Structure 1
Amino acid sequence: MALVQIEETPSRKKLLGYVGPGFLVSVAYLDPGNLETDLQAGADHKFELLWIVLVGLSFALTIQSRSANLGVASGKHLAEHCKAEYPTSVNYCLWILAEVAVIAADIPEVVGTAFALHILFKVPIWIGVLLAGLNTLLLLGLQRYGIRKLEGVIGLLVMVLGCCFFTVMVHAKPSAEEILTGMFVPKLNGPRATSDAIALLGALIMP
């Protein structure tokens, strides 16, 4: 019965079943903190730290693909595996660390959104923080109408951001030679290169 149901599902719905979660995951790489880190590293060192991005994304792809394979093969997410494998005391410690990590990751995003609204529209910082929180609640509320609605809104926002990024890239006309050199020739020139490299690596690992 299950096989027949899958075959009768339209191809578009099957595609959305794979693409939709991908859009949701991609938001982790597009939050204000990560983008600001990337922009600052580019402003300070141009293309010299692209090799950090390449190495970080390679490790991230490996870890995420292994995690996805584990989930598909076992049918369990990470918390379920931890509950099954670790004693209760360890699981409580992991839970507390996870909560701290979520708070630490969310604070820069909320504050970053507030500053962006202030820079673009002169909205006071405290109002920007409230709007960022309201935005989160609205997106969570979309889940009541189906996960596809939430995936569609997130996908639209990601595509708008992608179009803006490629428009800026076309306007900037970066040198292909400098890009390739920065990606495959490791360099740490300048007094802030090491700290910017660590920040870039952190922005890639955090998602």
Structure 2
Amino acid sequence: MREDRPDARAWPRPQRLFVRVNGTGQDVDVVPETPLLYVLRNDFALNGPKYGCGLGQCGACTVLLDGAAVRSCVLPVKATIGRDVRTLEGLPALWQSSTQGDDAIAAAIDAPMAGVDTEVDGDAGIDPARLHPVQRAFIEEQAAQCGYCLNGMICSTVSLLSRSPDPDDAEIRSALRFNLCRCGCHVEVMRAVKRAAVYLKQAAR
């Protein structure tokens, strides 16, 4: 007896969609319901956002959509059409465009915080001037152990500080409550967010 099989004509078919990521648009042939995370990693070769749970619950896949933190593992790519997607890799360019190469702002960010070691390891090939202040703050506070959650923590922090430049502890915890760190770096993450807030306030003067 022949086994009944689904009609292949009813399967979702790829469509050509124009997706804008990190300031650059690209046509991709994809099923519109495909999670954005797969498109970012497979079509744009952006590995900042990570696959963690696939349910939008751990935050490893977080990206910015028009400045708001969203879970790319459950967001269909069709929902991003006509909108701006920003990943971890695009944060330095976002910062540079906002400061427009202002030397005074760069100097403010480079000014050391009282009693805090702001040295970034040059052996890692990291140029602090090319980083978003939130990225730099997380590196300086060593706010990661395995690093898998780091993408989501940083993107969520960028979103938080864009709407609340001077958050208190409760605001920080609320903003990051869906970003899970299994290594237990929560204290360092809190310090990194506060340091990033200081950097951004210095730059705004």
> TM-score range, shorter-chain basis?
under 0.3
TM-score normalised per structure 1: 0.21
Structure with the bigger percentage of helix:
1
Larger Rg over CA atoms: 1
Structure with the bigger percentage of strand:
2
Q: Which has the higher contact order (CA 8 A, sep 6+)?
A: 1
TM-score normalised per structure 2: 0.21
